[in-house]
Every structure is written in structure tokens, then in C-alpha cells.
Amino acid sequence: MKKSPESTSLVHINKEKVGFFRFKELKGKYLVTNDSGCYLFLTKPEFKKFIQGKLDKKSSTYKNLQANNFIKDDADLGKSIEICQQRNVFLFQGPSLHIVVVTLRCNYNCVYCQASSRGIGAKGMDMDKKTARAVVNTIFQSPSKDITIEFQGGEPLLNWPIVRFIVELAEQKNRKAKKNLFISLVTNLSLMDGEKHAYLVKHSISICTSLDGPESLHNANRPFAEGDSYRATTAWIKKIKAREKKDSSLYKLGALVTISKYSLKYPKDIVDEYRKWGFYGVHLRPLSLLGLSGKFKNSIGYSVPDFLKFWEKAMDYIIGLNLKGKFFYERGSAIMLRKIMGDLDPNFLDLRSPCGAGIGQILYNYDGKVYTCDEGRMLGEDTFILGNVLKHSYKELVSHPNLRVVCQASILENSACDYCAYKPYCGVCPVLNYALYGDLFAPGPDNYQCQLHMGMLDYLFDKLQNKKVRGVFEKWMGLKKSNRKIS
């Protein structure tokens, strides 16, 4: 390349033609992405011509780049602004997810418990009515038109009266507030009975449980002193699924898996277990490394490469099933793919800039303490506290300096992440950074979460180059035809 006499730069870019983009070399090609979340793969010669502004306007490469807002002097600014709005609309909505920890007591002893729950006989670990009322009052002060109340624990069914109290009070308040109210309950199902289930159905409460895989694996991860935790959970999975078949208007039962060291040998078995029980998807979540899973990471944890190896095997198997005509998806990838292939942000709080802490979600603990997020609570200390519902107003809670600090720490534009090709599809967790590195910002390319996301996105982008697999992903998105013009 010739160097212009005035220029101190080695790289000659056509300033008029080349719009903003990020890039990464991936298996011999260049992946280019931009602020609109658009992406394209270019060969090396195409990449060179692109940055020099020498692409033939009639070529399919030029047309694809232009259609996806990479060409500066041929860009649709109005479209860029619209996409930017859609991708950041969550900034103006206020917290929509409100997690209510009705009790810290639990009848299980999961090896990776993030909630650091207490035994069933522990005293003073249940939310009382006064606190519950203050929680509901605070929730309805959120400006968000969508409100999700998610019951967590411990095991929330151990404080069933307060669950009912909150549900009914929220419904009562909503008659006036007219929000889109959605209520969900996270439970191990061991304490479910006919009466409770009927109540949940009557009030349209969605249920989510944990199913870690086949019986021996599930029991190894989730010991239950009173019996077999797998049988206790699956007995109710069977009943609920049977009811879903009869009444399609019911919310579908959800289930999550947590991958421990014991799970790594069973990628296919875990997927098959979910299919066996009638689930159409699975979320292969790595350990959060918070709570007990952080404390015992040496015995139940694994390295990022080990997790990615497991995850890729599971994904290969899932994709294979889909190519044989059997619909099944992996939820974590589906969320990332929605960010890659669509213009509307799925608003997954862990994958956005800034993250959802305090501005997308808030957690209310059994004792009234309010945290920036679920992860803030899992840390087991008060570092990420915003106040207490019994003492502080909604405005005081959301104005707390902790909220601003966490927000700032998760803004990708402020960090080295802004150079990364995957920035439009990624997010950081300041709480996790603090837990692992003692620093909200936790710089470094060997950052645990960065490595995880990088590995997953490398895999997904590699697969997206295959038309058949891309078609599978489009089905997961509910897209018959992608709205992006990509050859």
C-alpha cells in the first residue's frame, strides 16, 4: 500500500465510502458487523476492496454491504436511526422484571445453589405480609407497561400464603394500573399439589422448574433429603404436560438445566431427557459462579474450554435433530441469534448495554432488601443493594448510586468491548466480574464471561454460513424468511 505523505497511518481507508464497522477473522474470512447489528462475511480480497472503496457497485458484495448499512455514502440514515431505536428501546421502559424472593428456605441441597438457601427449618427467612405489600406497591411504581413478577427462593412453595397474597394484591392493583402483568413461579415442584396447581392455572401463572438431565445426573446435582428429587420433579412435569396437551391455552411449563462438572459427559442425554418429557427446547446454562457454585467451583466447576466442548457437542446434536425434521432449540443460542438475525432486541438482560441491573430488573429479598438484580443477591453480601422497600420509596431505590455504578460498568461502549465484532450481540455482568476479579469492570481477554460468549458466538457465526443450518435457526426465530438481504 502506498503511504500518503501527510498520513501517519499505514492503513489506507476510503473515508467517504467506508461506514463504521467492527471486524474479526473467522476461519479464513472476515466477519464484519456494525452498530445496526448487521453482519456479513467477506473474503480477504473483498475485505481489502471494501476498505479501499474499490468494490464494483454492481457486485453482490457491494449490494449486500449497502443493504446492511456498511457503505457510508450510500447508507439509509433513517433506517440506521430506526434500527438503533429498536435495539435500544429498553432504555426508556423502566424495570419490567421484578424478582420476589418469598423465602430463603429450601428442601433441596443443590450442589450449585446460587441462592445460598437455608434449611427447611430455618427461622426468620420468610417474607411477611407487611414486606410483601410494600414490594407490590413498589413494583407498580415502575413506569414499564410490562410487569413480570417472578417468584424465587429458596423454594417459593414453602411460603405459599405470601405467594397467594402477592398474586392477589398485584391483580387488584393492576385493575387500575392496567399493565401487561405476567406472573411466574420458579419451583423444584417437590411441594406441588393439586390445590396449588389449580390456583396457578386459575391465575395464569407460568411455572418454571429445574431438570438437570437423566435421573442419576439430576440427583447428583440436586440432592433431596426426603427422597428422589428426579422423581419428585418429573412426577409433576408429567402431570402438567398432560394438562397442557388437553388445554393449549395454558402457559407451557418451562425447565432449566444447570451444567455442573457432572453434566459434561452427557450432552446428548440431557437433550434427550428434555425431549422425552415433551419440552421443545433447553437452556444449557453454565454455572453462575455465584453463591455455592462459586464457593465450590473447584469441585463442581470446569474450565471455559471444557464447557464449550460440551456445549458444541450438544448444539451439533440439536442441529442434527432439526435437520432430520425434529424441532428442538437451545434457548441461550436462540437469544443470541435473535440479536444477530433480527432488529428487535429480545431484551435478555444479560446481553445488552447497559445490562438490566436496576433498570430492567429489580430483586426484592424476603427481608425487604432490594438488589440491583438476581446476581446482586446471589453474591451473598450487600454490595449491590439499593435500599429496603420498608424504608425507601421507588424513586430513592432507583436513584441509588449503586445502580448508576453498575449501569456504567456494563456499558460496552465505554470499554475494550467496543472494538469487538461481537459487541452488538453481547453483554457483561459487573456482579460476576466483582465476584471473580474484585472489580466491576474486570478488563482482560481472559475474562470468564467474555471467553464463554466469544466461544458461543464463534460457533454460531460459523454455523450461520451454512444455508441449511441457517434455515434451522430461522425456524427457531419464527422467521420464515430473514429480513436481511444476505446472499
Partner 1 sequence: MPAKKSVNQIRVVVNPKLYSLEAVYGAAYAFLDRAYIFLDQNSKKEILVTLKQKEELSKKELDVMAGEFQNALLSYSLRNEISKNNRKIREYIVGRALIGVLPENEEIDESKEEIQEWKGDDLGIAVPWEKKFAKKTRTKTSRE
Partner 2 sequence: MYPLKAIQKTMAAYRHLSTCVFSEKGRYYCVNMTRIHKDVERVIVDEFCNYVLSLIKE
Using CB under 8 A as the criterion, which residues of the chain lie in contact with partner 2 when the complex forms?
414-416, 438-439, 441, 443-444
The listed partner (partner 1, partner 2, none) that binds 161, CB under 5 to 8 Å by sort, is: none
Q: Which residue in the set 26, 35, 52, 296 belongs to the binding site for partner 1 (CB under 8 A)?
A: 35
Question: Which one, 32 or 100, has the nearer CB to partner 1?
Answer: 32
Distance CA 369, CA 348 (A): 24
- The reply to whether 417 sits near partner 1 by the rule CB under 8 A is no
The listed partner (partner 2, partner 1, none) that binds 438, CB under 5 to 8 Å by sort, is: partner 2
Interacting residues of 341 by C-beta distance below 8 A, sequence separation 6+: 473, 474, 477, 479, 482, 484
Closest separation in Å from C-beta 97 to partner 2 = 28
**Which among 427, 254, 457 has a CA at the least distance from the CA of 341?**
457
Question: Which one, 81 or 242, has the nearer CB to partner 1?
Answer: 81
Q: Which residue in the set 56, 76, 82, 381 belongs to the binding site for partner 1 (CB under 8 A)?
A: 82
Q: How many positions of this chain bind partner 1 (CB under 8 A)?
A: 36
The listed partner (partner 2, partner 1, none) that binds 299, CB under 5 to 8 Å by sort, is: none
Closest separation in Å from C-beta 399 to partner 1 = 6
Decide if 225 contacts 181 (C-beta within 8 A): no
Closest separation in Å from C-beta 459 to partner 2 = 26
The listed partner (partner 2, partner 1, none) that binds 441, CB under 5 to 8 Å by sort, is: partner 2
- The reply to whether 21 sits near partner 1 by the rule CB under 8 A is yes
Q: Which residue in the set 161, 242, 444, 466 belongs to the binding site for partner 1 (CB under 8 A)?
A: 444
Question: Which one, 183 or 435, has the nearer CB to partner 2?
Answer: 435
Decide if 175 contacts 154 (C-beta within 8 A): no
Question: Which one, 188 or 433, has the nearer CB to partner 2?
Answer: 433
Q: Which residues bind partner 1 (CB under 8 A)?
A: 3, 8-11, 13, 15, 18-23, 35, 51, 72, 77, 80-82, 84-85, 88-89, 91-92, 399, 404, 407-408, 416, 419, 443-446
